[in-house]
């Protein structure tokens, strides 16, 4: 099973997502080598046919992304393992169209990371089209349901920042706990690790200890930097160290 090791950098973005530092991909690999890391896992935001969403690469950029990282994978073989992935949402309509299967059929792509930033509305459109009142009241439920469906689909190797689904919630409640238990249970059942995200950690509305307190004994947890710049690698490694020290105290 494909699995980040303790000495790896997991969840790294590139300039193509349009909200990351404009540096060549190799700079991230060089940083990993300088830090003595054994591997680096690229997970830039996946495009979708027709380019319907912002803050990610366009479909026309995907071949270059995969080819560039594959070249780095070969160049740094034996020095630092370069892993090639994409962070993407689960949308039922794109599963029906076969898009996730199409992505995974590419020999250069190793895995998909489920990062549910929005959800598809069954009646049409996406949650980002909802009015503020509905977003505040219902978005978390739609995101959790999409994560659950995404895990069940079998297309995703990992789940990024599942607790960020509650970003608009003001307090923890029983229904949130029940949805969280479903996510943890499926994660354990299907052996799909959940990510404790170091971008979320420290943000009151994005990191929820109540969610992580529900972790099951047979469940796997990974740590992701969600880095969008070279500097963020160092700062988020420090956050990870602080988090782990706090957990152990």
| Mean per-residue pLDDT over the chain, rounded | 97
Residue 48 has pLDDT above 60, yes or no: yes
- pLDDT per position as a tens digit, 55-113: 999 999 999 999 999 999 999 999 999 999 999 999 999 999 999 999 999 999 999 99
Tokens matching residue 171: 């307090």
Residue appearing with tokens 């979320």: 200
DSSP state of 194: E
pLDDT of residue 35: 98
Please state the φ and ψ torsions of residue 204, each to the nearest 5 degrees.
-55, -40
Those residues with Cβ within 8 angstroms of residue 183's Cβ, 6 or more apart along the chain or in another chain:
144, 147, 148, 151, 159, 162, 194
> What pLDDT, on a 0 to 100 scale, did the predictor assign at position 248?
53
Estimate to the nearest angstrom the gap between the alpha carbon of 82 and the chain centroid.
17
pLDDT of residue 2: 87
Measured between alpha carbons, how far is 84 from 73 in angstroms, rounded to an integer?
Answer: 8
Q: Which residue has the higher pLDDT, 249 or 85?
A: 85
In angstroms, the CA 79 to CA 32 distance is 10
Taking only the tens place, the pLDDT of each residue in 190-221 is 999 999 999 999 998 999 999 999 999 999 99
Inform me whether the pLDDT recorded for 8 exceeds 50.
Answer: yes
Q: Is 191 left (phi over 0), alpha (psi -120 to 50) or beta?
A: left
Return the domain boundaries, the chain.
8-248
249: confidence class by pLDDT, cuts 50, 70, 90: very low
Q: What is the mean pLDDT of residues 31-36?
A: 98
**What's the distance, Cα to Cα, between the start and end of the chain in Å?**
31
Burial of 129 (0-12, 13-18, 19+ CB in 10 A): exposed
As given in the structure block, the two tokens for residue 224 are 């992701």
pLDDT of 235 reads 98
Contact partners, residue 241, CB within 8 Å, separation at least 6 = none
**Long-range contacts for 208-215 (Cβ within 8 Å, ≥24 apart)?**
208/163, 208/166, 208/172, 210/172, 210/176, 210/177, 210/180, 211/162, 211/163, 211/166, 211/180, 212/163, 214/177, 214/180, 214/181, 214/184, 215/184
Per-residue model confidence as pLDDT tens digits over 217-229: 999 999 999 999 9
The residue-averaged pLDDT of 143-172 equals 98
- What is the CATH T-level fold of the domain 8-248, as seen in this structure? TIM Barrel (3.20.20)
The pair of three-digit structure tokens given for residue 108, joined into one six-digit string: 């250069």
């Amino acid at each position: 099973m494909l699995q980040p090791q303790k000495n790896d950098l997991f969840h790294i973005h590139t300039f193509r997502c349009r909200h990351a530092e404009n540096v060549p991909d190799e700079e991230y690999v060089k940083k990993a080598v300088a830090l003595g890391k054994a591997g680096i896992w690229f997970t830039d935001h996946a495009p979708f046919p027709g380019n319907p969403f912002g803050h990610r690469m366009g479909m026309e950029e995907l071949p270059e992304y995969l080819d560039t990282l594959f070249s780095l994978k070969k160049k740094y073989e034996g020095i630092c393992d370069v892993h090639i992935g994409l962070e993407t949402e689960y949308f039922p309509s794109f599963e029906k169209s076969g898009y996730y299967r199409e992505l995974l059929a590419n020999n250069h792509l190793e895995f998909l990371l489920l990062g549910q930033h929005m959800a598809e509305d069954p009646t049409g459109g996406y949650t980002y089209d909802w009015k503020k009142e509905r977003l505040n009241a219902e978005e978390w439920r739609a995101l959790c349901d999409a994560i659950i469906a995404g895990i069940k689909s079998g297309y995703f190797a990992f789940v990024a920042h599942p607790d960020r689904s509650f970003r608009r919630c003001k307090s923890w409640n029983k229904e949130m706990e029940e949805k969280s238990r479903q996510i943890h249970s499926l994660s354990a059942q299907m052996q799909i690790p959940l990510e404790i995200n170091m971008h979320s950690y420290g943000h009151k509305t994005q990191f929820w200890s109540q969610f992580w307190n529900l972790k099951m004994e047979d469940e796997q947890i990974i740590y992701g930097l969600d880095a969008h710049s070279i500097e963020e690698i160092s700062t988020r490694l420090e956050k990870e160290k602080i988090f782990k020290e706090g957990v152990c105290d």
